[in-house]
Amino acid sequence: MADEFARIARLKQRFESGARAGALVGIGDDAAVLATGAENLVLSVDTNQEGVHFERRFGPLSVLSARAFSAAISDLAAMGAAARCALTALTLPAQLSESDFDALVDGLARAAGEYSCPIVGGNLAAGPALSITTTVVGSVSGTGLSRAGARAGHRIYVTGALGSAALGLALLQRMAADRGPAFVARWLEPRARLAEGQQLLGIASAAIDVSDGALQDLEHLCRASGVGAEIDAAALPLAEGFVELARSIALDPLALALSGGEDYELLYTVPEHAPPGPGTCIGRVTPNPGRLVVLDPQQQPIAIATRGYRHFSG
Amino acid sequence: MADEFARIARLKQRFESGARAGALVGIGDDAAVLATGAENLVLSVDTNQEGVHFERRFGPLSVLSARAFSAAISDLAAMGAAARCALTALTLPAQLSESDFDALVDGLARAAGEYSCPIVGGNLAAGPALSITTTVVGSVSGTGLSRAGARAGHRIYVTGALGSAALGLALLQRMAADRGPAFVARWLEPRARLAEGQQLLGIASAAIDVSDGALQDLEHLCRASGVGAEIDAAALPLAEGFVELARSIALDPLALALSGGEDYELLYTVPEHAPPGPGTCIGRVTPNPGRLVVLDPQQQPIAIATRGYRHFSG
């Protein structure tokens, strides 16, 4: 059976060089110590739980752990923040092997490197299933991108394409990853939009990342801003081959694009005559609080069956 | 079945006034935003997992969640830091009722209030067992209390009494809480030594909190400092009635005091002629790296069977 302190020593060794760069005191003391400057700090935490957010069979542990890290970083992107450092709390089942543990750590170290977001501390605990809880610390001037600044008439944009990750997940769940490896990669290896988020500071009136599903995340943004929204179905950015592949496994491409989560793209609003930022315009903000409408090319409302994934829902 | 967003709304309502005091942006956006000043930030994370760190039958959920919060805060105390704010990542089993959820939240809100450490964000996830992962943010001038500054000749001190929490836990595990309610309270309702930690800044050469067990935590401190230690068994601070009660349930009081964890007292070292701080002197630092010796009143070494609790140990 693995020893907790031996594992901590290995974590320290694996994460240390990065941790030194990001913190005055890194892994191995009671807490990490971080120098602060003129900017404000941005804090967020995200849990990725085996059996809920991922299955081990979906990919190598190094990829799944890097994915968990990206999901946490995405919240910094949605604030327009720069990444500073991270803490990693791992819950590990007793049967996790040392090579599995190493793979988990490799993925975290790689992701931390790619986002220039050193892991400066964390926690190891035993538990019934694998879970990865990542606390991310970023910095921003001012208060960053809020969800609450959208006003009637503002345009709604989204980076990248919608629904790709959900289509990839559907393929993984159907054991059909080989039918769309590019979509599977979009689920397994999302890239948090850190650079785009920072680019949106001073441009976007409101922003959120697409984690629960575009329509549901837009609903969060609209609720925070006290507005409504109209989405043009035909304007939704979809990856090449998305529609055909979705239909081939009996999924509605539109529902998937609007409700499939975990794209980790940025959904944001921009005043009418402001520069649009890096995204695609998919609709506009309306004055009706809480009213979200999806329109077909004839400007007729389309009923959408589901609004994304909710934990705990019956 | 409970709704995730309804629960988040309740968390926001319950934690909001505190969150406003501690952060520029609190619960309900993608991340919290924290203003920083001239001090350095201290970051730590701790997981409390049902079935590993606690059992539901040990006490009300409001007490168990406050306990989890205290355990995280204790790492700030061990750094000599002042508490600034916290993030709470909860993993909730599907069968958790709304009144259980409310109790959980009540305990966290109460603890956050008692430590003046507002909860400014967090995460909710479904999972197989209840777990509470608390990220704490503190502030300190300089780099706080390190584990690495103990030198040969320094005196070793500990606040409060040792082993009380472990004795309380032993009573809970034996369904014999009524035999020692004061000890049970020491396990169920520990108080992190925040004020004492700050008092030790400029006094202690090294410090750690007693979470794994005094001897094991002293071992961490000695390893970080490259020194050894001698402990005087007769000098260990024990609560009134501790020895008799431990013996009455066939536990060795000395082993319990040295190896029982979760007291969340501060163990620290002080140069020979410096003021001692708030603790009791229990021994001295020696120049032999890694060598920990417990001495009886005749200065003879005592063999101690166990050195505290390790997750994952076989």
Tens-place pLDDT, residues A52-91: 999 999 999 999 999 999 999 999 999 999 998 999 999 9
Instruction: Please give the interface size between A and B, counted as residue pairs whose CB atoms are below 8 Å apart.
Output: 246
The pLDDT score that the predictor gives to residue B19 is 56
User: Which residue of chain B is at minimal alpha-carbon distance from A206?
Assistant: B29
Distance from CA of A303 to the nearest CA of B (A): 22
Rounded to whole angstroms, how far apart are CA atoms A78 and A118?
A: 19
Cβ neighbour number for residue B81 with a 10 Å cutoff: 31
Nearest partner of B81 among B195, B191, B160, B171, judged by Cα: B195
- What b/e readout covers A125-135, taking b as 16+ CB neighbours within 10 angstroms? bbbbbbbbbbb
What DSSP string runs through B85-138?
EEEEEEEE-TT--HHHHHHHHHHHHHHHHHTT--EEEEEEEE-SS-EEEEEEEE
Rounded to whole angstroms, how far apart are CA atoms B100 and B160?
A: 32
In sequence order, which ranges of B25-91 are alpha helices (DSSP H)?
61-79
What digits encode the pLDDT tens for the residues A219-249?
999 999 999 999 999 999 999 999 999 999 9
Q: How large is the average pLDDT for residues A41-57? A: 94
Both tokens of A297, joined, read 């090319």
The pLDDT score that the predictor gives to residue B129 is 93
Contact A312 B52 (CB under 8 A): no
Rounded to whole angstroms, how far apart are CA atoms B75 and A303?
A: 51
With 90 as the cut, is the pLDDT of residue A285 above it? yes
Residues of chain A contacting B43 with CB distance shorter than 8 Å: 23, 31-34, 85, 87, 120-121, 135, 137
Q: Which candidate in B7, B11, B25, B29 is best for mutational testing of the A interface (most A CBs within 10 A)?
A: B29
The pLDDT score that the predictor gives to residue A309 is 47
Q: CB within 8 A of A16, min separation 6: which ones? A: A26, A27
Residues of chain A contacting B39 with CB distance shorter than 8 Å: 36
Residues of chain B contacting A129 with CB distance shorter than 8 Å: 127-128
Distance from CA of A246 to the nearest CA of B (A): 28
Q: How large is the average pLDDT for residues A251-277? A: 94
Rounded to whole angstroms, how far apart are CA atoms A88 and A133?
A: 6
With 70 as the cut, is the pLDDT of residue A313 above it? no
The pLDDT score that the predictor gives to residue B18 is 55
pTM for this one?
A: 0.91
Distance from CA of A126 to the nearest CA of B (A): 6
Residues of chain A contacting B125 with CB distance shorter than 8 Å: 47-49, 52-53, 131, 311
| Parallel/antiparallel/unpaired status of strands A301-302 and A292-295 | antiparallel
Residue among A34, A121, A125 whose CB faces B52 most closely: A125
Rounded to whole angstroms, how far apart are CA atoms A74 and B249?
A: 52
Nearest partner of A67 among A140, A132, A19, A2, judged by Cα: A132
Distance from CA of A118 to the nearest CA of B (A): 13
Nearest partner of A302 among A283, A280, A281, A274, judged by Cα: A283
Distance from CA of B48 to the nearest CA of A (A): 8
Report residue A17's pLDDT band, with 50, 70 and 90 as the boundaries.
low
The pLDDT score that the predictor gives to residue B63 is 98
Q: How large is the average pLDDT for residues A157-184? A: 97
Nearest partner of A227 among A149, A143, A307, judged by Cα: A149
Report residue A314's pLDDT band, with 50, 70 and 90 as the boundaries.
very low
Complex confidence, ipTM: 0.90
With 80 as the cut, is the pLDDT of residue A15 above it? no
| 3-state SS, one letter per residue, for A20-71 | HHHCCECECECCEEECCCCCEEEEEEEEEEECCCECHHHCCHHHHHHHHHHH
Report which of residues B149 and A11 the model is more confident about: B149
Cβ neighbour number for residue A290 with a 10 Å cutoff: 11
Residue among A28, A123, A131 whose CB faces B224 most closely: A28
Distance from CA of B53 to the nearest CA of A (A): 9
**What are the φ and ψ backbone dihedral angles of B215, each rounded to 5 degrees?**
-70, -40
Residue among B5, B25, B43 whose CB faces A31 most closely: B43
Report which of residues B91 and A142 the model is more confident about: B91
Please report, as a single letter, which amino acid is at residue B158: V
Lowest mean pLDDT among A202-216, A295-309, B83-97: A295-309
Report, in angstroms and rounded to the nearest whole number, the Rg of chain B calculated over CA atoms: 20
The answer for A254, left when phi > 0, alpha when psi is -120 to 50, beta otherwise, is alpha
User: Which residue of chain A is at minimal alpha-carbon distance from B216?
Assistant: A5
User: Which residue of chain A is at minimal alpha-carbon distance from B143?
Assistant: A33
Question: For residue B33, what are the β-bridge partners?
Answer: A42, B25
Distance from CA of B244 to the nearest CA of A (A): 33
Contact A30 B208 (CB under 8 A): yes
Q: CB within 8 A of B271, min separation 6: which ones? A: B151, B153, B154, B155, B205
The pLDDT score that the predictor gives to residue A167 is 97
Q: What are the structural domains of chain B?
A: 4-140 (3.30.1330.10), 155-302 (3.90.650.10)
Distance from CA of B33 to the nearest CA of A (A): 4
Residue among B4, B42, B46 whose CB faces A312 most closely: B4
Residue among B3, B31, B79 whose CB faces A310 most closely: B3
Residue among A44, A120, A224 whose CB faces B121 most closely: A44
Contact B43 A148 (CB under 8 A): no
Residue among B35, B76, B79 whose CB faces A40 most closely: B35
Contact A49 B209 (CB under 8 A): no
What digits encode the pLDDT tens for the residues A189-208?
999 999 999 999 999 999 99
What digits encode the pLDDT tens for the residues A153-169?
999 999 999 999 999 99
pLDDT tens, per residue, chain B with 314 residues: 357 677 777 777 777 655 555 667 777 778 788 777 778 889 999 999 999 999 999 999 999 999 999 999 999 999 999 998 999 999 999 999 989 999 999 999 999 999 999 888 889 999 999 999 999 999 988 889 999 999 999 999 999 999 999 999 999 999 999 999 999 999 999 999 999 999 999 999 999 999 999 999 999 999 999 999 999 999 999 999 999 999 999 999 999 999 999 999 999 999 998 899 999 999 999 999 989 999 999 999 998 765 554 443 32
Report which of residues A38 and A101 the model is more confident about: A101
User: Which residue of chain A is at minimal alpha-carbon distance from B33?
Assistant: A42
